[in-house]
Structure formats: structure tokens, C-alpha cells
Structure 1
Amino acid sequence: MSKITEQVEQMVLPIMEELNLELVDIEFVKEGRNWFLRVYVDNPEAPIDIDSCAVVSEKLSEVLDKNDPIEQNYFLEVSSPGAERPLKKEKDFEKALGSFIYIKTYEPIEDEKEFEGYLNAYDDEQVTIEIKIKTRRKTIAIERSKIAVIRLAIDFSAKLD
């Protein structure tokens, strides 16, 4: 986490607590000429709605204007993490057990850098997923230190009932 995202996290956590929402992730990224501060929030009890995102945005804007931790101009975006939310915290992994996930690694594992499959297990050292290769199923353990991206994914191959 960068210094800016850490500072923003400290500012947004009291707002999350007050509104009974969950902070999922914070990004501060440059895209083209513009900088974006993206704050992803969720509601643990119901789907997050646009009104909740607007309230967080308004309250966070006030705090950011007061404390001003970011030198350059930027756009603030507050939104839901969506269906393909990242897995960052212990509780994210716990909730995702048995779910379809996407993993991208820093280096190839068995000649692949991208994996999609069902999360079978996880601990501090590794993540275990079950992938499907044609009609065969295979379990792969991936060291967490080798994972660049891990998030929920949508399984388009699943048959509809």
C-alpha cells in the first residue's frame, strides 16, 4: 500500500464504521493524464447501492479537503467492488471458499500465469484451487508470494439450471 492509500484508509475507516459499511480496497492510480483515487466499499448486510456510495464520497471529500494528503489534482471515485472483487483480507478468502476465482501470477507455474478455478483452501503461505482442463479436474497450490492478482470471477462455463 502506498503512503497516500494508507493515509486515505485512515480517513475513510471512521466513515465506514459510522455507516456500517466495509472498506474493500483503495487505489491511487494514473490513467493517461489523470490521477484517480478509487475507494471500493461494500455493505456486509445487503447489496451496496449508489446512494451509499454517494454518501461515502461526500463525507470522504470533506475529510480529504480538510487534510489534503494528495498534492496533484485527482478524481475521487467511490463504488462497489463489483462481482469480481479482489481478495485482500482474511475474511475475503473465508467468504470466497468454494467460489470461482481468477489468479494471475508474477511468474509461470506449470507454464501458466493465469488460472481460473474454485478456491479449495488458503493459508498464509498458499492458495489451493481446483481447475478444469478439458474434462479433467486438477488441484493446484500456488504460493501467495507469487500471486499478482487474485479476485472473484464469473464462471461462464457453469451450466445454467
Structure 2
Amino acid sequence: MRPRAVESMVMAEAEAVARPLGFEIVDVEYETGPGGRVLRVYIDKPGGVSVDDCQAVSQPLSAALDRLDPIPGPYRLEVSSPGIERPLRKADDFRRFAGREAEIHTFGPVQGRRHWTGTLLGVEVDRVRLRLEDGSTVELPLEGISKARLRVRWQGAFER
């Protein structure tokens, strides 16, 4: 099964397990590599996620995935927090984090570019609005976004 198909199937199952427990599924990643196959599920809740929260989702999700069997053979399941530079996947993510800085990659060029960084202005219809560093704005088609995440600029201790 292709990675995107596995991710979609696991996303639906993970949401069914996590929502009743009070968690949001932020993202699902399925990777194969020299170390074997890894299925990562990122969860969140208001106030953040603890190790105990990850365990509270991991156990019932593991049992549900054993029944569903979306990945033939062995794989490692990892349930964790999305971190401060969390991925943005759904229209609601782009709305919720309006005013925050984000980095966005598109499948194809928009105005000759595929990589954008700026301040999220939200979503209108199916287009993500972004204010760029030069003050201009761009609208990126939601379906054309291949990867997006919040961006944190570190200041202070790391500056010289």
C-alpha cells in the first residue's frame, strides 16, 4: 500500500480513537527506511501534550491498528506531540494559527515559487492567505500545499 493511502487510513482510525479521549490528530506520517517501517501519529490538546497523553492514545490506537492491519508486517508506532513548529494540514489549522509565522511549500509553482514564508492571515474559501516579509500578500490554493508548518524564530541566547 502506498504511504499516502496508509496515512489516510490511519488518520481516520486515529481520529476515532483519539477524539473521545480529548485529543486532536494533527498529522500522520508513514516512512520506510533502513531502520524499518515507522508510523508516526502526532496528537495535540489545549495546554499541550505529555508523555502520559501519548501513552493514553498509543495503547488503544495500537490495538485498533492491529485489527485494521493497514501495514503488512512489522512496523514501529510512535505517538508524540507535534512540537512548536507543528504541521498545518487542515483549513482549520490555517485559521486557528492566523497571526503566526509559517513556512509553506506547494506542489507546483505559484507566481513562480514553491516555497513561501510569512504571517498567516487565515483562509478564504479554499485559499490560504499569507503576508510576506515585504508586506505583500499571496493566496495559495489549499489543495496545492504539499507541506506547511508553523515557524519559530529563535532570538536571544543564540544570537551573536
- Indicate whether 1:35 and 2:37 are aligned: yes
1:94 matched residue in structure 2: 95
Q: Distance in 1 between matches of 2:141 and 2:5?
A: 26
Matching residue's letter, 1:17: R
2:7 paired with 1:5: yes
Stretches of 4+ moved more than 4 A in 1?
A: none
Residues 9, 142 of structure 1: alpha-carbon distance in 2 compared, 3 angstrom cutoff: closer
**Per-residue Cα deviation, 1:1-24 (whole angstroms, up to 9, x for no partner):** 833233323432232123111111
1:11 maps to a residue whose letter is E
The alignment partner of 1:17 has SS state of helix
In the alignment, structure 1 segments of 5+ residues that lack a partner are none
Shift of 1:33: 4.8
Query: 1:131-142, aligned counterparts within 5 Å?
Result: 131-132=132-133, 136-142=134-140
Say which of 6, 15, 21 aligns to 1:19: 21
CA contact (8 A) 1:124 1:144 kept: no
> 1:56: how far off?
1.1
Calculate the TM-score normalised by the size of structure 1. Answer: 0.81
Unaligned runs of 5+ in 2: none
Equivalent in the alignment of 2:113: 112
- 1: CA distance between counterparts of 2:17 and 2:143? 32
**TM-score of the superposed pair, with normalisation by structure 2:** 0.82
Aligned partner of 2:148 in structure 1 is 150
| RMSD (Å) for aligned C-alpha atoms | 2.3
Contact 1:121 1:127 in 2 (8 A): yes
Q: Which residue does the alignment assign to 2:73?
A: 72
In the TM superposition, what is the alpha-carbon distance from 1:120 to its structure 2 partner? 1.5
Alignment coverage as a number of residue pairs? 154
Instruction: Pick which of 106-115 and 143-152 moved more.
Output: 106-115
Offset, 1:111:
4.2
Query: What code does the residue aligned with 2:142 have?
Result: R
